[in-house]
Structure 1
Amino acid sequence: MPKILVVDDEVGIRELLSEILSDEGYDIVLAENATTARAARLSAKPDLVLLDIWMPDVDGVTLLKEWAANDLLSVPVVMMSGHGTIDTAVEAVKLGAMDFLEKPIALQKLLAAVRRGLQRQPSIRPRNSVSLASFPRSAPLKDLRRRLEQIADKARSLTLRTGAGTIAELCARTLQRPGSPWLDIASLSQPIDLPALESARGGILYIEDLTQLTRAQQKNLAFALDRLDKYDLKIVCGSSRSQEELLADAWEAPVVKRLFEITLAPPSLADLKDDVPEMATQLLVYLIEGGEVPPRRLSTAALNALRTKPWPGGFGELRAAVRSLALGTLEDEIGLDDVNRQLGRANAAAAQALPLDMPLREARESFERMYFEYHLQLESGNITRLADKTGLERTHLYRKLKQLGIPLGRRGDS
């Protein structure tokens, strides 16, 4: 029996559509807003979605954009609106909706649209990775996406000035064309050649951190830099060190100069704490849709816990944590206890790890940052208790946190 998800904030319309479609032999799932629609899209796995445009929390077009960004439009979506315009209909179809119905919806038009949708063969498209487009509700990430796209429109090489908590991969994935190749230069152990570049044509060459490259991999990078135009390639790399530091480490001056012609300093996960819950939610959606983890949902308490945790490993660490939680939880909902049980020990170990492979000043700052992040998390952001625990006067503590780049956000202080 085909399953149809009806998303509309008006209870009368939901009930009417449910009654009509149930009489036609369809299995109906109802959602009153975007939040419940997201959950129903994952748990019910409908064969078709009827989606209202005008809703109080998130409108239907925004939700459609979100689903498109996360490759969730293999299911036909029919938009509905009592205030429909030609522009809105055209935008919805461009985003991937298969039809548009104006309210009040004529019975025959409704049934015809449903039949067409259910008869449509699902499109087989290359599965995109999570990118900044997956987070349309985050103002900082929307702004970053615009900056990246503006740069990429005029340049083939971009270096991201990064540090702990990097989102370099998320930035690079944003510039990857759907279905195009992705080549991580740091993963290559053999010299790169022309056939390898040909196989990567039109794609992204990526390096999470330039300092990770061996001498041989630096030569691969130099080889590729000279052939970007020929093979329609873009290079996106992160660097935790400055241009001068790389030169002091015996990097070739022409390569460094080329790489640092255009740079950008994206925010870290420490700067984006309020966006971490949305990132975790979308990562879970991506993993579920890809069959990598069983259907799960994150509780509000679990999301808040993820928001307050330090993520020195950046986006990659957050992705691994979400995957571990989904695989290690037996219930449908991932709760606070799951987060504390599975991630608490790892964070405690990270907080006690001493950075030994860097200059003394940087090592001291790195340790202090981990130390304060760890205790700030334990005290739920309470500055008074943190000051008592660390033995620092509050004014000095605030100055130290600012110096280390640790944002306080809207943490409690009572």
Structure 2
Amino acid sequence: MATILVVDDEMGIRELLSEILSDEGHVVELAENAQQAREYRAGSTPDLVLLDIWMPDTDGVSLLKEWSAQGYLTMPVIMMSGHATIDTAVEATKIGALNFLEKPIALQKLLSAVEQGLARGIERPRTAPPAASTAPAATAVPDAASPAVPTEIPVDAAANGNATRVPEAEMHFSFDMPLREARDLFERAYFEYHLMREHGSMTRVAEKTGLERTHLYRKLKQLGVELGRNKPEPTEQ
């Protein structure tokens, strides 16, 4: 889904947020202080940052100011704190923070804030699009020493031995599409495949995919997978 950087000096908070966000399908990167966050941001741009305010080396507001001054504040940032005042929250918002979450963070508030933050990140491109080139595109010549990379999900053998195409494989897949879109496409095909193989049994799909049923239902709803169409057709008596 998305890459989320969690910056917090408390190990318990980092582990908890990592577990929750990973269950939601996100890639979670962790930083225990501002310096680690600086190093990560210097080399990568996450889709969202959850930033603690009170940290021992540099506080979150100061780090937010640094990123803003250096032009690194190109992604949504949600501030977190259990002791911050309203003035601190207002200051962070003025600098560029998108939201503020008070610890202990309620699960629903966290997921809602993350969803809003990721939606805002899509609305606001993080980097300028590359300038269009007037030069003709070069024709790719396959390397004889390297096998061709398939651009669609391959045909798989069903349990009955007959060749069956994985659901959603007919959807146009391209390695040129954005990572988030490609990941959603793969996850949807992945879950529909297991639903088909397990004849719509959520219990068996949960066991196969390693997800709890609650998280599985939420993931299928998020991906727009229709459960009814994966159930087997009734047999005639």
- Structure 1 residue 43 displacement after superposition: 2.5
RMSD: 1.6
Match of 1:122 among 114, 121, 124: 124
Rounded Cα–Cα distance in structure 1 between residues aligned with 2:44 and 2:16: 20
Rounded Cα–Cα distance in structure 1 between residues aligned with 2:61 and 2:15: 22
Evaluate the alpha carbon distance shift between residue 123 and residue 85 of structure 1 in structure 2; reply closer, same or farther with a 3 A threshold: farther
Rounded Cα–Cα distance in structure 2 between residues aligned with 1:123 and 1:24: 23
Rounded Cα–Cα distance in structure 1 between residues aligned with 2:19 and 2:125: 30
Evaluate the alpha carbon distance shift between residue 31 and residue 124 of structure 1 in structure 2; reply closer, same or farther with a 3 A threshold: closer
Alignment partner, residue 89 of structure 1 = 89
Provide Cα deviations, 1:113-144, integer angstroms capped at 9, x if missing partner: 10001001226899xxxxxxxxxxxxxxxxxx
Rounded Cα–Cα distance in structure 2 between residues aligned with 1:65 and 1:86: 18
Rounded Cα–Cα distance in structure 1 between residues aligned with 2:117 and 2:103: 18
Alignment partner, residue 179 of structure 2 = none
- Max radius of gyration: which structure? 1
Rounded Cα–Cα distance in structure 2 between residues aligned with 1:43 and 1:19: 24
- Structure 1 residue 91 displacement after superposition: 0.2
Unaligned runs of 5+ in 1: 127-414
Contact 1:52 1:81 in 2 (8 A): yes
Rounded Cα–Cα distance in structure 1 between residues aligned with 2:41 and 2:115: 20
- Structure 1 residue 44 displacement after superposition: 3.5
- Structure 1 residue 40 displacement after superposition: 1.1
Alignment partner, residue 70 of structure 1 = 70
- Structure 1 residue 73 displacement after superposition: 1.4
Letter in 2 for 1:45: T
Q: What's the TM-score once normalised by structure 2's chain length?
A: 0.51
- Partner-residue secondary structure (3-state), 1:51: strand
- Partner-residue secondary structure (3-state), 1:41: helix
- Structure 1 residue 106 displacement after superposition: 0.5
Evaluate the alpha carbon distance shift between residue 124 and residue 44 of structure 1 in structure 2; reply closer, same or farther with a 3 A threshold: closer
- Partner-residue secondary structure (3-state), 1:113: helix
Alignment partner, residue 300 of structure 1 = none
Alignment of 1:4 onto 2:34? no
Alignment partner, residue 103 of structure 1 = 103
Rounded Cα–Cα distance in structure 1 between residues aligned with 2:33 and 2:109: 24
Contact 2:73 2:96 in 1 (8 A): yes
Evaluate the alpha carbon distance shift between residue 124 and residue 56 of structure 1 in structure 2; reply closer, same or farther with a 3 A threshold: closer
Alignment of 1:26-37 (within 5 A): 26-37=26-37
Letter in 2 for 1:36: Q
Letter in 1 for 2:24: E
Alignment of 1:285-296 (within 5 A): none
Rounded Cα–Cα distance in structure 2 between residues aligned with 1:66 and 1:125: 18
Alignment partner, residue 185 of structure 2 = none
Rounded Cα–Cα distance in structure 2 between residues aligned with 1:64 and 1:41: 12
- Partner-residue secondary structure (3-state), 1:50: strand
- Structure 1 residue 45 displacement after superposition: 2.0
Letter in 1 for 2:115: R
Alignment partner, residue 38 of structure 1 = 38
Contact 1:29 1:44 in 2 (8 A): no
Provide Cα deviations, 1:159-200, integer angstroms capped at 9, x if missing partner: xxxxxxxxxxxxxxxxxxxxxxxxxxxxxxxxxxxxxxxxxx
- Partner-residue secondary structure (3-state), 1:30: strand
Alignment of 1:198-347 (within 5 A): none
Rounded Cα–Cα distance in structure 1 between residues aligned with 2:106 and 2:53: 17
Rounded Cα–Cα distance in structure 2 between residues aligned with 1:41 and 1:125: 14
Letter in 2 for 1:88: T
Letter in 2 for 1:122: R
Greater per-residue helix proportion: 1
Letter in 2 for 1:84: A
Rounded Cα–Cα distance in structure 1 between residues aligned with 2:127 and 2:16: 35
Unaligned runs of 5+ in 2: 129-237
Alignment partner, residue 13 of structure 2 = 13
Contact 1:47 1:76 in 2 (8 A): yes
- Partner-residue secondary structure (3-state), 1:75: coil
Rounded Cα–Cα distance in structure 2 between residues aligned with 1:125 and 1:43: 14
Evaluate the alpha carbon distance shift between residue 125 and residue 18 of structure 1 in structure 2; reply closer, same or farther with a 3 A threshold: closer
Evaluate the alpha carbon distance shift between residue 12 and residue 124 of structure 1 in structure 2; reply closer, same or farther with a 3 A threshold: closer
Contact 2:75 2:126 in 1 (8 A): no
Q: What's the TM-score once normalised by structure 1's chain length?
A: 0.30
- Structure 1 residue 5 displacement after superposition: 0.1
- Partner-residue secondary structure (3-state), 1:37: helix
- The percent of aligned pairs where both chains have the same amino acid is 69
Larger relative contact order, structure 1 or 2 (CA cutoff 8 Å, min sep 6): 2
Alignment partner, residue 199 of structure 1 = none
Evaluate the alpha carbon distance shift between residue 109 and residue 70 of structure 1 in structure 2; reply closer, same or farther with a 3 A threshold: same
Letter in 1 for 2:73: L
Rounded Cα–Cα distance in structure 2 between residues aligned with 1:16 and 1:44: 23
